[in-house]
């Protein structure tokens, strides 16, 4: 059995640590790990987006909507699900997102990287509405 060189550490406990056969723990970890993987994979649902906007496209469309105070619908990703909200762009949030005024009068911050789709009733191209 070869020893791992831990002479780099300033702590004696790390330099003198010796694993006395971690293999004896594998049967216990394997069942729990396999169960955790099954649970994770059953909850995980990945869907490839049909269309995605580039960061520049999002910025241009949002700037246009903000300048004209257009009512737009934004589809965004939140906690592995797509959500949709309708309203107007009120202001920028540190160039990483927007402050959005919803139809019900409440405000919401939305990160640009989470935005999946932007639509409106007049200006945005129909191919973006999918």
Q: What DSSP string runs through 3-61?
A: PP--TT-S-HHHHH-----GGGGHHHHHHHHHHHHHHHHHH------S----HHHHHHH
Domain span holding position 86: 55-120
Average pLDDT over residues 10-20: 79
Average pLDDT over residues 36-61: 74
CATH of the domain at 80: 2.30.30.100
In a domain, 7, yes or no: no
In a domain, 1, yes or no: no
Average pLDDT over residues 56-84: 88
In a domain, 125, yes or no: no
Count of structural domains, the chain:
2
The pLDDT confidence band at residue 51, using thresholds 50, 70 and 90, is low
Q: Give per-residue pLDDT as tens, 102-122.
A: 999 999 999 988 888 888 887
């Amino acid at each position: 059995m070869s020893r791992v060189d831990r002479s780099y550490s300033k702590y004696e406990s790390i330099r003198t640590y010796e694993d006395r056969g971690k293999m004896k723990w594998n049967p216990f970890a394997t069942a729990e790990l396999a169960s955790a993987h099954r649970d994770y994979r059953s909850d995980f649902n990945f869907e490839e987006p049909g269309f995605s906007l580039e960061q520049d496209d999002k910025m241009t469309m949002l700037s246009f909507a903000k300048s004209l105070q257009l009512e737009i619908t934004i589809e965004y990703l939140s906690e592995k699900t797509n959500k949709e909200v309708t309203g107007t762009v009120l202001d920028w949030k540190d160039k990483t997102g927007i402050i959005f005024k919803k139809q019900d009068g409440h405000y919401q911050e939305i990160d640009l990287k989470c935005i999946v789709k932007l639509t409106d009733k007049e200006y945005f191209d129909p191919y973006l509405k999918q």
